[in-house]
Amino acid sequence: MLATDTPLRQHELDRHLVWIGFRQMVPIAVFVMVFGAAFGLAAMQSGLDPAWIVIMSTLVFAGAAQFATLDLWGAQVPMLALALTVFAINARHLLMGATLYPWLRPLPLARRYGVMVVASDANWALAMQAFGRGEPGLGVLLGGGLALWLFWVLGTWLGTQVGDLIADGRRWGLDMVMGCFLLAMVVGGQKNLRMLLIWLVAAGASLLAYRYLPENSHVVVGALAGGLLGMTWTEQSHER
Amino acid sequence: MSVETQGWGPLLIIALMAVVTLATRWGGVFVMSFVPIGHRTRQFIAAMSGSVLVALLAPLAVQGDGGARLALATTAVVMLVLKKPLPAIAAGILAAAVFRQLSV
């Protein structure tokens, strides 16, 4: 998924690219709105006030972590358990940031970290795909991220109002949207024997961690296992 | 330490969640700014970027119900054939929906 040449103009970022990225993400963001609604509904059922639910989606913008913390919600919330849960589930952001770094490096600091505020699975995957094709990808990272954020917050609000409408979303396969999207990104990426073996190792490590290691560690363990194999078993470098 | 969920408590809880999440979004970039980007680093990053997704999906494929597995398999096949994400995702969701409607 990564061009081996030094990125030249791929770190370009202007209004036009951001708007294109926004529009490119809207079809996926519509599904994210349904997730948001599911979260809004679940949070209501966990006893949160609608205003706090919408504020949480606005400020946190991390679906899986938000869902997970609902289990901790009661008359009191244990802060250490909360922080650890959120960190473990969102630790994949660390890896995403690291993979984006070669293209973020040319940006001034404020922009570099500003773009990352809306980094999430879907816009990261599309950005990496664009970089892999040698195209600019920061537009879809920022624009797509803004689309996801907007629809996530909107969906959350809808869920607190009319959540009952989507209570049965699982029966319509709506829980599979993000899984299918991310898989499509994997399949659409670089494919060769080396990459397939790396993915096998990543999948195996992830499953082992899922079974035997603490909850939510599997993504980081699997990704690092794949990354380390890729680093030891390097491709022939084609320096030009 | 625990925080009450009455009054302004939720704001503190949400603020902690937001700060931790932002730290994960910024942390990877921050750490990489100290790492020299050579051939090996690039290879690590390239291998890891696909592996993140695979590691995320593996338990879903193995532990998920028949609908989840059928959805992923359908998405993979359609993506390999058409090489277009949106039809592949739509076909996957449709497969899960049909499977779950039929198997009650």
By mean pLDDT, which of A49-53, A231-235, B16-20 is the weakest? A231-235
Q: Which helix (H) or strand (E) holds A77?
A: strand A76-78
pLDDT at A214: 86
| Contact flag B63-A210 (C-beta cutoff 8 Å) | yes
pLDDT at A1: 46
pLDDT at A235: 79
In sequence order, the 6+-apart residues with CB closer than 8 A to the CB of A54 are: A40, A153, A156, A157, A160
Average pLDDT over residues B94-101: 95
By mean pLDDT, which of A202-211, A230-239, B42-51 is the weakest? A230-239
Residue type (1 letter), A48: L
How many Cβ atoms are within 10 Å of A240's Cβ, its own excluded? 5
pLDDT at B50: 86
Rounded Cα distance, A137 and A123, in Å: 9
Q: Residue A7 — very low, low, confident or very high, per pLDDT cuts 50/70/90? A: very low
Rounded Cα distance, A37 and A89, in Å: 20
pLDDT at A117: 98
Mean of pLDDT over chain A: 89
| Contact flag B93-A125 (C-beta cutoff 8 Å) | no
Domain boundaries, chain B: 53-104
Q: Decide if A199 touches B, using CB distance below 8 A.
A: yes
Query: Reduced to 3 states, what is the DSSP secondary structure of residue A98?
Result: helix
Q: What percent of chain B has pLDDT over 90?
A: 67
Beta bridge partners of B2: A78
pLDDT above 90 for B100 = yes
Quick one: CA torsion of A198, A201, A207, A208, rounded to 10 degrees? Answer: -150
Q: B104 to chain A nearest CA, in Å?
A: 10
pLDDT above 60 for A240 = no
Residue of B nearest to A128 (CA): B49
pLDDT at A189: 78
3-state secondary structure chain B: CEEECCCCHHHHHHHHHHHHHHHHHHHHHHHHCCCCCCHHHHHHHHHHHHHHHHHHHHHHHHHCCHHHHHHHHHHHHHHHHHCCHHHHHHHHHHHHHHHHHHCC
| Contact flag A98-B25 (C-beta cutoff 8 Å) | no
pLDDT above 50 for A239 = no
